[in-house]
Structure 1
Amino acid sequence: MIVGHRIQQRQPADYEDVPRPVVGIGNDYPPSFELAEHSHRRGQFLYASRGVVAVSTPDGAWVAPPERAVWIPAGTPHSVRMVGKVQTRSVLVAPSAGAALADTCRVVAVSPLLRQLLVAASEVPAEYDLEGRDGLVMALLVAEICQAPVIPIVVPFPRNPALAERCHRFLESPRAGDTIERWSDALAMNRRRFTRLFRRETGMSFAEWRQQACLSVALPRLAAGDSVTAIALDLGYDGPGNFSTMFKRVLGVPPSRYLQQ
């Protein structure tokens, strides 16, 4: 794991005061590089044109494999973990330019047009001509981000300390067969109280959250080249068939085709 390794990067903090509403930046990261928790005054649309990025905030975790990106609203504390060699093409959006964008983190699909705009934006000078071609690229880029389809990959973290600790431990070693009874017993709650608390704290049922947590662990492993069978068995599925069925139900395609698309 590489944390705090000194490499030359274009940092979002360096562009906070640039007198432009949207700024594009591009970086290359070595495998397992981690950006410690930080925040910035601009929102960030974080896209990995190569590799996978995993974003964590106090409220949840989001994973973006190829052709997906994470929107991180301005002021959101977040850390980023790189899976494999990662090449990012990001844009920083001032609140005045991103009023139509969501005020919560989310994973969205990156269309071919949006991908090309992100690549182009990373090559635009920081203080570009607002009325010229570069200004048009940035304006179209924000419009495309606003209409990008949301992908249902999110693992919200509860505020309740005991429940949050249990959720974080699950992410470290997820088991698809874990039960409400096991969690409620561990937290000294009856089933009804636990299910009500869990939904209130996360906005999801326990089964939905467990499924999302397993997906968030599986996606980086798929991107790293691990086999579907190995991932399924490690997550506690009886075999690759059950895992693939769940994967396709949530993301629309089986895991064998997901990264190809």
Structure 2
Amino acid sequence: MKNVSVDNVDHVDRAVLPIGTDYASGQVLDWHRHRRAQFLYGATGVMVVDTPEGTWTVPPERAVLIPATARHRVRMLGVSTRSLYIEPDAVPWWPATCMVVDVPPLLRELLLAAVEFEADYSLSGREGCVVALLLHEIAARTPLPFHVAIPAAPDLAALCRAYLAAPDAGVTNAAWAARTAMSERAFTRRFRTETGESPAVWRTRARLLAAVPLLRTASVTEVSGHLGYASPAALTAAFTRAFGMPPSRFTTSHRDGGPGADRHA
């Protein structure tokens, strides 16, 4: 199925409903929830998924697992998706929070095939086998570290969401502490309790996540300057430490097979 609202087919007696959807660049799917769990794959572009608990950045050709009934918002940046909406009882192993995962070639091809099915596809033969194999492949995925936690406390959450919207290398713990009328030491302790990370470590990861959508249209050099890194090499080193791959993997030239692209990635 293509460009169909899940609400229009949610009643169909199938544990898995595959749907492909094309979105305008910059389109935001405001806060909502689905009765079913969702496997959301971005065949193109970058997605940013917010929940009250955190923010997940989904690079090109990756996917995010969204739990059933989880309240979330998605910002689409040049995205064409291939989604699976799955009855919770069919996936008791589904994670309790969102999770970004890699999508290897077999899983990608299965998704591309499945979105051509009708809502009431046959459970026997090829279509049923494709859907069954999809669930096996998704169950084998492991999480990628493309997320930051959002504190439950409203004042800390506001600081974090504002920083995600406009990362600034010049922000300090002292500045954040002043905005919450706390000492720097007390603020840092409270922030670590809420997120599991120090404010400085959290901001570093948030800045690196901000690089992912920027790399759609800008070079590593341009992105490093925009985010306040001393050099492209500094951004590359920090990005590779955090995510296990260099930022050049997400540039348009790499995906198009241009100069420097790793054709075997």
Report if TM-score (shorter chain) is over 0.5: yes
Shift in Å, 1:230: 1.9
In structure 2, relative to structure 1, the CA distance for the partners of 1:258 and 1:252 (3 Å cut) is: farther
The residue number in structure 2 matching 1:68 is: 62
Shift in Å, 1:122: 0.6
Cα deviations across residues 47-95 of structure 1 (Å, max 9, x unaligned)?
Answer: 11111111112222111121211111110111111112x2111101110
The residue number in structure 2 matching 1:41 is: 35
CA distance in structure 2 between the aligned counterparts of 1:176 and 1:124, rounded to whole angstroms = 47
Does residue 118 of the first structure (1) align with residue 111 of the second (2)?
yes
The residue number in structure 2 matching 1:54 is: 48
Tell me the secondary structure at the aligned position of residue 31 of structure 2. strand
Q: Tell whether the 8 Å contact from 1:16 to 1:40 is kept in structure 2 after alignment.
A: no
Shift in Å, 1:100: 1.0
Does residue 15 of the first structure (1) align with residue 9 of the second (2)?
yes
Tell me the secondary structure at the aligned position of residue 23 of structure 1. strand
The residue number in structure 1 matching 2:162 is: 169
The residue number in structure 2 matching 1:245 is: 237
Shift in Å, 1:217: 1.4
Mind listing any 5+ residue stretches in structure 2 that lack a counterpart? 255-264
The residue number in structure 2 matching 1:5 is: none
Cα deviations across residues 198-247 of structure 1 (Å, max 9, x unaligned)?
Answer: 12222323233212211221101112x21212211221222222111110
The residue number in structure 2 matching 1:153 is: 146
Q: Would you identify which runs of 4 or more consecutive aligned residues in structure 1 move more than 3 Å?
A: 258-261
Shift in Å, 1:149: 2.4
CA distance in structure 2 between the aligned counterparts of 1:21 and 1:212, rounded to whole angstroms = 37
Q: For 1:1-261, what aligned pairs fall within 5 Å after superposition? A: 9-84=3-78, 86-223=79-216, 225-259=217-251, 260=254, 261=265
AA in 2 matched with 1:113: L
Q: Tell whether the 8 Å contact from 1:27 to 1:89 is kept in structure 2 after alignment.
A: yes
Q: Tell whether the 8 Å contact from 2:3 to 2:19 is kept in structure 1 after alignment.
A: no
Q: Tell whether the 8 Å contact from 2:110 to 2:130 is kept in structure 1 after alignment.
A: yes
Which stretch of the first structure deviates more once superposed, 20-29 or 177-186? 177-186
CA distance in structure 2 between the aligned counterparts of 1:66 and 1:108, rounded to whole angstroms = 11
AA in 2 matched with 1:241: A
AA in 1 matched with 2:173: I
Q: Tell whether the 8 Å contact from 2:32 to 2:73 is kept in structure 1 after alignment.
A: yes
Cα deviations across residues 84-130 of structure 1 (Å, max 9, x unaligned)?
Answer: 2x211110111011111111001111111111111111112211222
Mind listing any 5+ residue stretches in structure 1 that lack a counterpart? 1-7
CA distance in structure 2 between the aligned counterparts of 1:54 and 1:23, rounded to whole angstroms = 22
AA in 2 matched with 1:227: S
Identity fraction in percent: 46
AA in 2 matched with 1:35: L
Normalising by structure 2, report the TM-score. 0.89
Normalising by structure 1, report the TM-score. 0.91
CA distance in structure 2 between the aligned counterparts of 1:205 and 1:21, rounded to whole angstroms = 42
CA distance in structure 1 between the aligned counterparts of 2:197 and 2:108, rounded to whole angstroms = 31
Q: Tell whether the 8 Å contact from 1:228 to 1:255 is kept in structure 2 after alignment.
A: yes
AA in 2 matched with 1:26: G
AA in 1 matched with 2:122: D
Tell me the secondary structure at the aligned position of residue 80 of structure 1. strand
The residue number in structure 2 matching 1:3 is: none
AA in 1 matched with 2:25: P
AA in 2 matched with 1:117: L
In structure 2, relative to structure 1, the CA distance for the partners of 1:244 and 1:177 (3 Å cut) is: farther
> Cα RMSD between the aligned structures?
1.7
